[in-house]
Structure 1
Amino acid sequence: MTEITRVPIKPIAKGSVAKLWLGIAAALLLAGTLAWAGRARGVEVEVVAEGTGASPTKDDVVFVRYTGTLPDGKVFDKSQDIPLPVQGLLPAGSPLPLANMIPGFTEAALQMKKGGRYSVTIPADKGYGAEGRRDQQGTEVIPPGADLTFDVEMIDFMSRAEFEQRIQVLQQAMQMQQGQGTPAPAPAPE
């Protein structure tokens, strides 16, 4: 028969169990704090003026007026209303298909309502990330790792199918005007 060597284990001293549990609790608290601090920040949407009705879906085209700024306050983009020859065919503002936008802008737009005004902060990882963005000439427009802020007015939205149908009507109207040699009427002021 094999003999096992016995090693005596000292009993735990009085008060050591409480210290052990306090140590475990402190370690868990520290781990939780580090996990919370290291998590990815989300998109922040501040309502400046409440809109009404439903919100768009990720497959919709939104019509917005916006100004995009960098953390130093520099404007990197500003929307412009598109002058259309057929009044009333499309809403005012810039049409933006949400499926083609940066993730943070889409996420924010899904929380907006028609007629509302919003201040949106998009962290870099939901914007242009570590790459930033350059224009067609190669000039840096958005530096790598930059958070973005947008002031947005949600004018209206519609499904992408409805938008494409209205664009076809617009193209047909323009072709008819060109075929007749009649200049397109100027859009009426709002």
Structure 2
Amino acid sequence: MATQMPEVQGAYGDLPVIVFPEGEAPKGLKVVELEEGNGPMVRRGDTVTVNYHGQVWGNDTAFDSSFERHQPASFGIGVGQVIKGWDQTVPGHNVGSRLLVSIPPEYGYGSRGVPQAGIGPDDTLEFVIDIIATR
């Protein structure tokens, strides 16, 4: 049986709630466009502004959430300023889109993880990303 992606409750702009299915995390890098925006397309090399909510597969709480801080984040995309999983999945989507991205360790923080954030070396990360702007 194929592993399912989590369910995301909440619309674009709302604090997302991630509901995990039974079983193991999906294998490989996966992205699902939950809502398609109609703004400009994000391209590699752009500076993108997003709200995001990240949880380790199966955990009840976020390890990082700009939604919870009420402070969107801006950074270069596709240029190595963020983890590989973001660089490879955010470009090609439009402003106004809500994405669900499943990131295995090799596209996230690798074999070291981020212990202070509760991210282990074998953890799959689930992010809900709302694309606010690109330039």
**Offset of 1:42 from its aligned partner?**
3.6
Structure 1 vs Structure 2 CA RMSD: 1.7
Higher relative contact order (CA 8 A, sep 6+): 2
8 Å contact kept, 1:129–1:146 = no
Pair 1:94 & 2:63 matched: no
Partner of 1:157: 134
8 Å contact kept, 1:67–1:78 = yes
Partner of 2:16: none
1:114-129 alignment runs, 5 A limit: 114-129=95-110
Return the match for 1:77 from 47, 64, 87.
64
Structure 1 residue ranges (4+ consecutive) displaced by more than 6 angstroms after TM superposition? none
Gaps of 5+ in 1: 1-40, 83-92, 159-190
**Offset of 1:54 from its aligned partner?**
4.1
Single out whichever of 117-126 and 139-148 deviates more from structure 2: 139-148
What residue identity is the alignment partner of 1:144? P
8 Å contact kept, 2:40–2:134 = no
**Offset of 1:111 from its aligned partner?**
3.1
In the alignment, the residues of structure 2 paired with residue 140 and residue 64 of structure 1 have an alpha-carbon distance, to the nearest angstrom, of: 20
Pair 1:108 & 2:94 matched: no
Say which one has the larger Rg: 1
Percent sequence identity is: 28
Partner SS state of residue 105, structure 1: helix
**Offset of 1:152 from its aligned partner?**
0.8
**Offset of 1:126 from its aligned partner?**
0.5
Aligned residues between the structures: 104
Relative to its length, the structure with more helix (as a share) is 1
Partner SS state of residue 63, structure 2: strand
8 Å contact kept, 2:63–2:117 = no
Relative to its length, the structure with more strand (as a share) is 2
